[in-house]
Amino acid sequence: MATSIGNRSVCVIGGGISGMTTAIEAAEVGYEVYLIEKAPSLGGRVVQMNQYFPKLCPPQCGVEINYRRIRVNPRIRHFTLAEVEGVSGIPGNFDVTVRMGPRYVNEKCTSCNKCTDACPVERQSDYDYGMGKTKAIYLPHEMAFPMRYVIDDTVCLKEQCSKCVAACRYDAIELSMKPKSLTINVGSVVLATGWSPYHAIKIDNLKFGIYRNVIRNVEMERLAAPNGPTKGKILSPSDKKEIKSIAFVQCAGSRDENHLAYCSSVCCLASMKQATYVRSQYPDADIFIFYIDIRATGRFEDFYVKLQTDRKISFIKGKVAKIIEDEGTKALTVVAEDILSGKKVYRKVDMVVLATGMVPNGIKAKMPADIVYDEFGFAVSDLQSPGIYVTGCTKKPADVASCIQDATGTALKAIQTIVGV
């Protein structure tokens, strides 16, 4: 018979798709959950995507349902702009110290946007990977949860300006807001700290950050997204013109000892998915996908086969190792050896998308037991640290569907610690 050995609540660190799923699944079977997210909104990387794979539906539907499940469930308490500073204790009785950054906007905010209209300061939008701008006071994104504005205090002029305070009719802005600390006592902890796109500037021969028309797959999601910097129109970054051709460079820094030695498993399908974005906007565009091996496992192969029937999508076996920019037009020539013909190919394109891989975020906070990481920074087996579990891309690179499955299983693990099986 299961007996309680202590606190019956769970702390989930990370409010992306994995963290939200674990939190919801645990809460919906009756356990208290604290969901800690360092960004101003829940949702993680998923809300930056244009479409989910493989059904090609926008993330709004899935994420919106999860937001709603959190909103209506009194057992979930979520904290945004919050970072875990340390965890201590034993399974069944962990103390989690959380530092909550100031949002400068309180719960009275109605998202009327008057503050943003008044704000004179701009900042690069991290939501758009720096391709767009927001004001210093902004809504994280259009379906942010909580639906509340936030001030970026690294750029805000604060009391010297105060234009937003004057513009706000609801007394929602508090420029004097200070960070807060709190300690929560829980029975088990789940790490769902997710991933970041690889810092592609390090791949010096692919010229990301130097040639403007070289972007990464994550930027492509934003370019194609209706709420993105180009309102969903895929345009070449250098001149904002329509494109006639595009090249996808697979394994950009992946399966590469000099960068990420592992395969991130999702990039082949992500690029093929993005090829469909291009095709839907440009029926005649030439699309080149340069690959070492196409990794489309199981049912995903159907997607690959379907794309192969498109006569203007070329799959070229050979890694792009050189990109040359035309100084005048900013068009790019990608160079690879086509292994099947044994000859070099030069393809002149308007845009290049680097299929960069996923880098695990990990956690900096002090944990009661050392989290064991593999050589790449992914957290391995939770057996080393009972009561503390890892899920989603903290553990391995994975697509959304796999993360959700994994996160659901992790909810059960977290509950098992609490009820003491």
Single-letter code of the amino acid located at 173:
I
**342 is a site residue for other proteins (CB under 8 A):** yes
Out of 126, 171, 326, 374, which residue is the one contacting other proteins (CB under 8 A)? 326
Closest approach, Cβ 162 to other proteins, in A, equals 52
Distance (Å, whole) CA 397 – CA 268: 13
Per-residue interface string for the shown chain with other proteins, residues 239-258, x marking contact by CB under 8 A: ------------x---xxxx
Kindly state whether residue 370 participates in binding other proteins, applying the rule CB under 8 A: no
Decide: is 163 part of the binding site for other proteins (CB under 8 A). no
Q: Which of 85, 152, 153, 337 binds other proteins (CB under 8 A)?
A: 337
Residues 48-107 that bind other proteins (CB under 8 A): none
Q: Which is nearer to other proteins, 128 or 325 (CB)?
A: 325
Q: How far is the CB of 272 from other proteins (least distance, A)?
A: 19
Residues 204-243 that bind other proteins (CB under 8 A): 205
Nearer to other proteins (CB atom), residue 53 or residue 291: 291
Cβ nearer to other proteins, comparing 167 with 321: 321
Q: Does 333 bind other proteins (CB under 8 A)?
A: yes
- Regarding 322 and contact with other proteins (CB under 8 A), the answer is yes
Nearer to other proteins, 302 or 326 (CB): 326
327 counts as binding other proteins under rule CB under 8 A: yes
In the list 112, 335, 367, 401, the residue contacting other proteins (rule: CB under 8 A) is: 335
Q: How far is the CB of 28 from other proteins (least distance, A)?
A: 44
* CB closer to other proteins out of 156 and 294: 294
382 in contact with other proteins (CB under 8 A) = no
Residues 193, 45: Cα–Cα separation, whole Å: 11
Binding of other proteins at residue 176 (CB under 8 A)? no
> Which residues make up the interface to other proteins (CB under 8 A)?
205, 251, 255-259, 286, 292, 318-322, 324-327, 331, 333, 335-337, 339, 342-348
